């Protein structure tokens, strides 16, 4: 599936006019796009490509290339797929253009909440939202008479019961792989306890009560996980779910659809979604809201921008959404939330914070990611770990110019 899109560049020359049927116009301007590679982007870029002359590059490490590729003059790509995290370097460097004119010209079909405004200017068009939410095996919880947990303390209690019953290999799954995922989990929990990791002046603020609670909660959770959790990413956890090895996990909404894919999953129809648990009773869910969407490069001609915008809009139209309804929680009209999207909606209803995408948070995220592993492995105390996170942050922040 994925390779097909990856190799699109080669195929488009062959596609000729037969594929144009799905697009309302024929694009004559050669265009390139760079985005992430998960299912929703595959669907969107394939639909864009139907207009012709688009080379879509899908790369899960797109964020390593994007800042520099968009800073080049002329920009190497016209269309960029971003999330609220990866838009930050592009915004900061001023390499994407404001879309107000183009939206006025072509964007009649867009819903108001798809327009991502920064300082009053539309800078991106969102196509979907994503959040980590609670997925669980309904059959197991029902059989053991466990209510769906709403706080992490309840998660621990439920895990204990599932472990005692011995029905699955591990009660919990978690995306705690070092590299990016662990930092995300730490920050989720920290914000869930009401923390804000970076002060307004750019100094770190994790060495406190909330930091301690975060670390201790994460450590308690790991007792119910596959001991290889420090290498687990979303695909790994998704696979554990599909093979019936785990009973619950805080997993991305974009992964929910895979649970009901009969060709891969042994648990079709058994997995349900609920709101992400809160870290403390009465608090907001310990998770963050994300969106994914596209931006248009600044360093290109207006004609190219015009064509790029129209092509990108074709990729996120109602026709695409009806064909790929289960791939994501779409923001596009025509989307009907399925059974597995319920958890994402329940999470959003409880108002978790959006991911704080700033230069400082980028550094903090990787500092958490790099330092917490040693604590979870038991090589370092919680207090020392919090000091280490702050020290790592300060070094990175100096390199990034945030601190002097």
Partner 1 sequence: MAVSRALRQPLSLRLTSAAFLTLWCLIAAFPIFWITVMSVKLPLDAFASSPWEVLFGPATLAAGKGLTLLDIAASLGLLWATAWVAMCRVPLWVAAFTPPNVIALGWLVAAAMLGLGFVLMGFVILPPILNWINSALGLPAILGLTTEHYRAVWVENAFWHNFLNSMKVTLGVTAISLTVGTFAGYALARSGSKLAFWILIVALIFRALPHSVLVTGYLPLFINSAEILRPFLGDAAPTLYGQPLAVIAVLVAINQPFTIWMLRSFFHNIPADLDEAARVDGCTHFQAFRWVIMPVMWPGVITTGLFSFLLGYNDFLVTSLLLDASNQTMVPAIAGFFNRETTMTDQVEAIAAAVSITAPLFLLVMVFQRQIVSGLTAGAVKG
Partner 2 sequence: MKFKTFAAFVAPSVLMMLIFIAVPLLLVFGESFYRTSPLMEVVEFESCTPGFGTQTCKTDTKIAPALDASRRMILQTEFVGFENYADVVEPQKFWTDVKALDWAQLMDIDFWRALRFTLTFTFITLPLVLGLGLALALAVNNLTRSLRGPVIFITLLPFIITPVIGALSIRWLFVGEGILTRAMEAWSGTDIAMFAQSWTIELLMMFYRVWSSAPFAFVIFYAGLQGVNQDAVEAAMIDGASRWQRLRFVVIPYLMPLIVFVALIHLMDAYRVFDEVVGLRTQGHVISLQYLTYDFLMPDDAGNRSVSRAAASSMLTMIGIVILLVPMLRRTWADQKGRA
Answer with the entry of partner 2, partner 1, none that 37 interacts with (C-beta below 5 to 8 A by kind): partner 1
Is residue 282 at the binding interface for partner 1, with CB under 8 A as the rule? no
Site string for partner 2, 1-40 (x = CB under 8 A): ----------------------------------------
Tell me whether residue 165 or residue 359 sits nearer to partner 2 (CB atom): 359
Is residue 113 at the binding interface for partner 1, with CB under 8 A as the rule? no
Structure tokens at 359: 């230069």
Sites for partner 2 among residues 243-282 (CB under 8 A):
245
Q: How many residues bind partner 2 (CB under 8 A)?
A: 73
Sites for partner 1 among residues 38-57 (CB under 8 A):
38-39, 55-57
- Which one of 83, 86, 150, 234 is in contact with partner 1 (CB under 8 A)? 234
Tell me whether residue 139 or residue 233 sits nearer to partner 1 (CB atom): 233
- Which one of 93, 104, 281, 323 is in contact with partner 2 (CB under 8 A)? 93
Residues 6+ apart with CB under 8 A from 30: 53, 55
Residues 6+ apart with CB under 8 A from 164: none
Answer with the entry of partner 1, partner 2, none that 82 interacts with (C-beta below 5 to 8 A by kind): none
> For residues 297 and 69, what is the distance between their CA atoms, to the nearest angstrom?
10
Structure tokens at 372: 């917490």
Tell me whether residue 207 or residue 325 sits nearer to partner 1 (CB atom): 325
Q: Provide the minimum distance between the beta carbon of 220 and partner 1 in the complex, in angstroms, as a whole number.
A: 28
Pick the stretch among 19-27, 32-40, 84-92, 135-143 that binds partner 2 (CB under 8 A): 84-92
Helix (H) or strand (E) holding 181, with range, is helix 181-192
From residue 357, give the alpha-carbon distance in Å to each of 63, 272, 345.
Answer: 14, 30, 22
> For residues 193 and 79, what is the distance between their CA atoms, to the nearest angstrom?
38
Is residue 114 at the binding interface for partner 2, with CB under 8 A as the rule? yes
Contact predicate 80/66, CB 8 Å: yes
Closest CA to 87 of 33, 112, 123: 123
Is residue 220 at the binding interface for partner 1, with CB under 8 A as the rule? no
Long-range pairs for 377-380: beta carbons < 8 A, 24 or more residues apart: 377/230
Adjacent-strand bridge partners of 128: 292, 330
Is residue 359 at the binding interface for partner 2, with CB under 8 A as the rule? yes
Contact predicate 296/309, CB 8 Å: yes
Task: Quote the DSSP letter at residue 298.
Answer: S
Angle, in degrees to the nearest 10, between helices 181-192 and 359-376: 100
Answer with the entry of partner 1, partner 2, none that 279 interacts with (C-beta below 5 to 8 A by kind): none
Footprint on this chain of partner 1 (rule: CB under 8 A):
1-4, 6-11, 32, 36-39, 55-61, 65, 68-69, 71-74, 76, 233-235, 239, 242-243, 255, 258, 261, 263-264, 266
């Amino acid at each position: 599936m994925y390779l097909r899109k990856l190799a699109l560049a080669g195929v488009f020359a062959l596609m000729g006019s037969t594929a144009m049927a799905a697009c309302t116009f024929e694009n004559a301007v050669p265009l390139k796009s760079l985005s992430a590679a998960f299912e929703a982007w595959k669907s969107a870029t394939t639909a864009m490509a139907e207009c012709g002359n688009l080379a879509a590059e899908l790369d899960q490490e797109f964020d390593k290339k994007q800042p520099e590729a968009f800073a080049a003059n002329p920009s190497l790509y016209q269309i960029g797929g971003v999330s609220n995290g990866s838009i930050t370097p592009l915004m900061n460097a001023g390499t994407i253009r404001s879309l107000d004119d183009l939206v006025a010209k072509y964007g009649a079909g867009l819903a108001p909440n798809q327009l991502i405004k920064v300082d009053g200017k539309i800078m991106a068009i969102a196509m979907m939202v994503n959040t980590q939410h609670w997925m669980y095996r309904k059959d197991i919880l029902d059989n053991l008479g466990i209510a769906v947990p709403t706080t992490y303390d309840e998660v621990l209690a439920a895990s204990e019961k599932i472990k005692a019953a011995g029905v699955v290999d591990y009660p919990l799954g978690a995306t705690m792989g070092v590299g990016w995922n662990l930092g995300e989990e730490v920050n989720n929990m920290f914000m869930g306890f009401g923390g804000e990791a970076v002060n307004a002046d750019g100094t770190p603020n994790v060495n406190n009560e909330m930091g301690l609670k975060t670390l201790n909660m994460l450590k308690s959770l790991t007792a119910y996980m596959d001991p290889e959790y420090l290498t687990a990413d979303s695909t790994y956890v998704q696979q554990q779910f599909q093979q019936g090895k785990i009973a619950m996990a805080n997993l991305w909404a974009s992964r929910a659809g895979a649970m009901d894919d009969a060709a891969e999953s042994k648990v079709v129809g058994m997995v349900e979604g609920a709101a992400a648990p809160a870290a403390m009773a009465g608090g907001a869910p310990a998770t963050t809201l994300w969106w994914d969407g596209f931006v248009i490069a600044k360093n290109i001609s207006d004609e190219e921008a015009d064509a790029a915008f129209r092509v990108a809009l074709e990729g996120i139209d109602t026709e695409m959404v009806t064909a790929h309804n289960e791939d994501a929680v779409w923001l596009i009209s025509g989307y009907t939330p399925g059974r597995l999207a319920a958890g994402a909606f329940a999470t959003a209803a409880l108002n978790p914070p959006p991911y704080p995408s700033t230069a400082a948070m980028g550094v903090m995220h990787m500092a958490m990611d790099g330092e917490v592993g040693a604590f979870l492995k038991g090589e370092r105390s919680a207090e020392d770990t919090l000091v280490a996170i702050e020290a790592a942050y300060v070094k990175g922040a100096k390199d990034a110019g945030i601190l002097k």
